[in-house]
Amino acid sequence: MLFSMPGAVAAHAPEVAEKPETAATEVPLPARNPKRLEPPSPPHPRDREAPEWTAQEIQTETDRCEMMLADIGVEYEPLAPIREGVCGAPAPIELRSIGKDQKISINPPARVTCGLAATLSAWVDTVVQPSAQEHLGSKVVSIRNVASYVCRNRYNAPGKRLSEHARANALDMAAFKTADGRTITISNDWALPPEKPSEEKAPDAAGGKASTDTSAAKAPETGVVHTGRDTKPPGPAENAPGAKVDEKTDEAGKENTPEAPPFRPESAFLFAIHEGACKLFGTVLGPLANEAHKDHFHYDLAARKHSNYCE
């Protein structure tokens, strides 16, 4: 008879593996919030801190304003200083009309600086009215204002620089009304003048073929950065005797291209006053600049180191 001792059984019994702990159920991490990864947007100009205008700044600009607008035919109303964050002006005005010889109303009145008002008045006297008389046979009596002072960045984009509109130093205009009742709008009447063919140069000293290269021609130096327009190359030379006449050419060998439509007086007027503004304002933008300016002119007095910007 065999006897088993409890201790012996415990000593020789196989070891039982410990039951592993139940692994925790893996919980997927939440998707990253893209807003947390992007840097915060810069504050709006009105939310940025700037010192208030001092009494001396206000008085100096007010005195300068009265001197600048005296005897040039500008009708205006002085306004209280504007300060919205970094936006504003110490002595803005409500501009109602400009022009010394012929009053041009600003509709609706614009909140601008006196410097901009004085430049606008010089522009209508020396550029707008002469161009209107030449191309339209009538004077301009009203300008449609679509934007003057507004506290914002350029193109309302957070990362852009402060707009000149935020300094009351810019005016956007969309239409001009004449004394005979016509309304000329940038959206409907803007067009470029027809391109002129390049003039052939005289033969060189060696008797070679006349050059048609106009790339060496230089525009007058006006201190204005300007977008140029390439001219069309001259038409083909006359066909040699006995040569077959192409269907696209006449008997003389010249291109039978349809004539360009006549340049409308309204378009000629808008082009002329836009070109004339380039010599007076710091920035001149219109439909040639970009899609944002396809229906209005933007003029401002931004200070520039080298030359005005005109497009």
Domain count, the chain: 1
Inside any domain, residue 293: yes
- What pLDDT was estimated at residue 260? 53
Inside any domain, residue 231: no
Q: Which of 120, 227, 102, 127 shows the shortest CA–CA distance to 173?
A: 120
Inside any domain, residue 40: no
Over residues 268-288, the pLDDT tens digits come to 999 999 999 999 999 999 999
154 pLDDT more than 70: yes
Look-up: residue for tokens 């063919």? 197
| CA–CA distance, 301 with 107 (Å, rounded to integer) | 21
- What pLDDT was estimated at residue 107? 98
211 pLDDT more than 60: no
Query: What does the mean pLDDT of the chain come to?
Result: 79
With cut-offs at 50, 70 and 90, classify the pLDDT of residue 34: low
Task: Provide mean pLDDT across the span 77-103.
Answer: 96
Inside any domain, residue 235: no
- What pLDDT was estimated at residue 14? 53
Inside any domain, residue 300: yes
Torsion-angle region of 161 (φ positive above 0: left; ψ -120 to 50: alpha; else: beta): beta
Q: Which of 264, 265, 246, 266 shows the shortest CA–CA distance to 256?
A: 246
50 pLDDT more than 70: yes
Over residues 51-72, the pLDDT tens digits come to 999 999 999 999 999 999 999 9
**Higher model confidence: residue 231 or residue 125?**
125
229 pLDDT more than 50: no
In sequence order, what are the residues at sequence separation of 6 or more whose Cβ sits closer than 8 angstroms to the Cβ of residue 30? none
| Peptide bond preceding 108 in cis form (omega within 30 of 0) | yes
Torsion-angle region of 107 (φ positive above 0: left; ψ -120 to 50: alpha; else: beta): beta
| CA–CA distance, 120 with 282 (Å, rounded to integer) | 12
Inside any domain, residue 247: no
- What pLDDT was estimated at residue 28? 75
Range of the domain at 81: 45-192+265-310
Q: Is the pTM of this model over 0.75?
A: no
291 pLDDT more than 70: yes
Inside any domain, residue 242: no
- Cα–Cα–Cα angle for 279, 153, 40, rounded to 5 degrees: 150
| CA–CA distance, 115 with 135 (Å, rounded to integer) | 29
User: Phi then psi for 6, rounded to 5 degrees?
Assistant: -55, -40
Over residues 164-207, the pLDDT tens digits come to 999 999 999 999 999 999 999 999 999 988 876 554 444 444 44
With cut-offs at 50, 70 and 90, classify the pLDDT of residue 27: confident
17 pLDDT more than 70: no
Q: Which of 146, 161, 147, 159 shows the shortest CA–CA distance to 87?
A: 161
251 pLDDT more than 90: no
pLDDT above 70 covers a percentage of the chain that reads 68
For residue 148, give the amino acid letter.
Answer: S
Q: Tokens for 120, please give them.
A: 């606008």
**Higher model confidence: residue 129 or residue 252?**
129
| CA–CA distance, 61 with 135 (Å, rounded to integer) | 38
Q: Tokens for 285, please give them.
A: 């933008």
Residue 99 near residue 121 (C-beta atoms within 8 A): yes
Inside any domain, residue 10: no
pLDDT above 90 covers a percentage of the chain that reads 56
